[in-house]
Amino acid sequence: MDATSMKRAAAARAVAEVQDGAVLGLGTGTTAELAVEALSKRVAQGLRIVGVPTSERTRALAERLGVPLAPAGDWPRLDLVIDGADQVERDSLDLIKGLGGALLREKIVASAARRMMVVVDGSKLVDRLGGRTPLPVEIVAFGWQGTMERLDALGLQPRLRLVAGQPFLSDGGNHIVDCHLGEIADARALEAKLSGIVGVVETGLFLGLASTVVVGNSSGIEVMQR
């Protein structure tokens, strides 16, 4: 199977666990979109759920496919969130997320859920976070140059994310900086340093949030538990 087929199979496996009556977080990105598509088929067959999208892009897709959504900001504690990831550390199931630009809302939803199920293909598994995959950091647009300087002072090689030559804006109106820092020796220490920088809104380090990772491989589906 190609990567898309593997992700589709893993997304279908994850969606099969959604129970009737669930309040469900809907992630952002290509893999999460496959999960929304699989979910819409179950909804058409009678599954009753309420979805909480993590981006306007996901909201638009869910509405188009007939997935019921909670009013913006008006939802109780979530039962489950299904999302993708840019990297998954094998031993810890810690994640890097945010290459899709929705890391703040994704982390808010993941933190509100009883369980986080992550869907990936096998290429996203790593022994240690970082390396070739940059770490996205969401920063306030006001004074972004100063925030970039503080990130650079930590040796993180920050690059402002651009779209058509203009700074990328998240759904919250913030910029995204992609930090190129090699393998991360201590993700929790790095998270603490980044969180202490004025102007940093959130980081793409999702530590201790994923409870299950469903991996699509050419040989089949692997389910990893924390």
Do 103 and 83 touch, CB atoms closer than 8 A? no
What angle is formed at CA 223 by the lines to CA 59 and CA 219, rounded to 5 degrees?
A: 105
Q: Which residues of 101-110 are buried (b: 16+ CB within 10 A; e: fewer)?
A: bbbbbbbebb
* Helix boundaries (H) for 16-128: 30-44, 56-65, 103-112
Q: What are phi and psi of 148, to 5 degrees?
A: -60, -40
Do 156 and 181 touch, CB atoms closer than 8 A? yes
Give 25's strand partners: 52, 81
Report, as residue numbers or ranges, the catalytic residues: 106
Taking the C-alpha atoms of residue 210 and residue 216, their distance in angstroms, rounded to an integer, is: 16
Region of 46 (left: φ > 0; alpha: ψ -120 to 50; beta: rest) is left
Do 161 and 98 touch, CB atoms closer than 8 A? no
